[in-house]
Amino acid sequence: MKTKAPVAKNERLDVTIADLTYQGMGVAKVDDFPLFIENALPGEELTIQVTKVQSHYGFARAIAWKSESPDRVKDVDKTYRQTGIAPLQHLAYPAQLKFKQHQIAELFSKDHQDVDVAPTLGMENPTQYRNKAQVPVRMIKGQLETGFYRQHSHDLIPLTDFYIQDPAIDAAIVKVRDILRQFEIPAYNEISDKGVIRNIMVRRGYYSHEMMIVLISRTQKLPSQAQLVNQIHQALPEVTSIVLNVNAKKTNVIMGNVTRTLYGKPTIEDSLLGLTFAISARSFYQVNPQQTEKLYQMAIDKAGLTGEETVIDAYCGIGTISLALAKHAKHVYGVDVVSEAIEDAKVNAQKNHLSNVSFETNKAEFQMAKWQEDGIKPDVVVVNPPRKGLAESLIDSTAKMGPKKVVYVSCNPATLVRDVARFQELGYDIDGPIQPVDQFPQTPHVESVTVLVKK
């Protein structure tokens, strides 16, 4: 029997916000029916208008506040909320850190697991931290613009200050935008599938200040390519690499498979925990270098290495965690599905004079099964999966190898809870508190380090 929702579309109600969702929206309950409201904080009393009603929940918008949370930040730029760049900017930073700690604890308690979650490690300056930008380029009123899409749409909002990005990157995007305008290079039009420039990507080394500009194009060559490249590197002295990435498909995926270096070298260098890394256009490198050092140091400390251990790093990327672990282990095996990342990882091992590492290109779950068949017996397995978490087969292979410890670096608490439960079925238990690290201030995302030990 279908129960009728206690609210109707366009209805106006007075509510008190009870909680925040993992996406940072306020939650109010009407007869146990949850309504999700943007820009609303726990404890606030407000008048809302219902905008959408589903069978088990609804959405509403705030019309007027009767009381405000002491944690509300007043002078915020609504553009950052509309584009989803900084959905939590209206929440004071100490409260953001508490929200992230609570988010992990809450998900474990819903799964009937009593875990200890430590306070979130935050940043001194929780803005201007991103070392990489990927911004869409579109024509607006006949002029090429850079900015960000309004949430849930493909309407570009022109922006020059992205708030959470390194200001040098913001300035570089504006210079590249102006040069593209000067050469009258048309932006991509997704409706007609015509035009040239789709996106501009900029990476900047936090310590090295080396900068890479990636122009993502629908076409194999850019109009006025040589002059354009010359202008960019003259306008931006930090640029050591200009790369063309070709994406001719009608798709939402940002980058294509063809990458060509137009100026300088195909990588930039930066350092992390005293190691040097070459970073190419398509390889994964954490976007918040200051917090990454805290996160990885935490993972290394919790691995408790003495120099005698065999370690596996699943999802190794360009070798950032693997090489940091190799300084403290007997041998480290790394695997990643992106072949360019593995090429970079091998180069990075040589750069840092580390020979006790081996890297393989494969899906982590397949390679783990292969290593298990080959009789490799790791003492510690480190996993740092994407948001979808671990494949069940990877957890099974890990448990069969029987490492004393699994160090789980997670970027999604929901899949962490699911995966931990699977490890517990296979004889592993959480050791010590889970440590959240704020890699993405002003957003609801939270990274964490969890240690699992063999019973």
Task: Tell me the percentage of the chain whose pLDDT exceeds 90.
Answer: 91
398-432 pLDDT, tens digit per residue, is 999 999 999 999 999 999 999 999 999 999 999 99
| Residue 1 predicted with pLDDT over 60 | no
Please check whether residue 197 is in contact with residue 213, taking contact to mean a CB–CB distance below 8 angstroms: no
The pLDDT tens digits of the residues spanning 291-322 come to: 999 999 999 999 999 999 999 999 999 999 99
Give the residue from 27, 105, 97 showing the smallest Cα distance to 60.
27
Residue 256: per-residue pLDDT: 94
Question: Residue 252: what pLDDT?
Answer: 87
Average pLDDT over residues 277-304: 92
The DSSP bridge partners found for residue 137 are 146
Work out the pLDDT band at 2, boundaries 50, 70, 90.
low
Rg (CA), the chain: 24
- Domain boundaries in the chain? 12-70, 132-272, 288-454
Amino acid (one-letter) located at 94: P
Q: Which of 411, 417, 434, 437 is catalytic?
A: 411
Q: How far apart are CA 267 and CA 22, in angstroms?
A: 36
240: helix, coil or strand?
Answer: strand
Q: Which residues contact 49 (CB under 8 A, 6 or more apart)?
A: 10, 11, 12, 60, 61, 63
Sheet architecture: strand order including 239-246? 156-158, 143-149, 132-140, 197-204, 211-217, 239-246, 258-264
CATH number of 288-454: 3.40.50.150
pLDDT, position 59: 97
Tokens at 166, concatenated: 């390194």
Angle at 105 between CA 81 and CA 289, to 5 degrees: 55
Residue 15, pLDDT > 90, answer: yes
At residue 388, the pLDDT reads: 95
Nearest to 57, CA basis, from 97, 98, 27, 93: 27
Instruction: Write the pLDDT tens digit of every residue in 61-95.
Output: 999 999 999 999 998 888 988 898 999 999 999 99
β 58-67/33-37 pair status: parallel
Q: What is the mean pLDDT of the chain?
A: 95
Percentage of the chain exceeding pLDDT 70: 99
Mean pLDDT throughout 107-116? 94
CA torsion, points 61, 67, 69, 74, in degrees to nearest 10?
70
Which residues have C-beta within 8 Å of that of residue 251, sequence separation ≥ 6?
none
**12-70 CATH fold:** OB fold (Dihydrolipoamide Acetyltransferase, E2P) (2.40.50)
Is 252 strand, coil or helix? coil
Residue 49, pLDDT score:
97
44, pLDDT greater than 90: yes
Q: Whole-angstrom Cα distance, residue 295 to residue 272?
A: 11
Q: How far is CA 356 from CA 311, 346, 376, in A?
A: 10, 11, 15
The pLDDT value recorded for residue 284 is 84
Q: How far is CA 266 from CA 220, 259, 359, in A?
A: 17, 9, 21
d(CA 271, CA 293): 10
DSSP result, 351-382? HTT--SEEEEES-HHHHHHHHHHTT---SEEE
CATH number of 132-272: 2.40.50.1070
316 counts as catalytic: no
The two structure tokens encoding residue 446: 């939270």
Looking at per-residue pLDDT, the higher value among 260 and 283 belongs to: 260
Closest CA relative to residue 358, chosen from 336, 390, 382, 375: 336
- Residue range 126-152: average pLDDT? 95
Give the C-alpha distances (Å, rounded to integers) separating 342 from 141, 314, 322, 334, 359: 43, 12, 11, 9, 6
Residue 224 structure tokens: 């006025």
What distances in angstroms separate CA 9 from CA 31, 224, 285, 415, one per listed residue? 16, 54, 44, 33
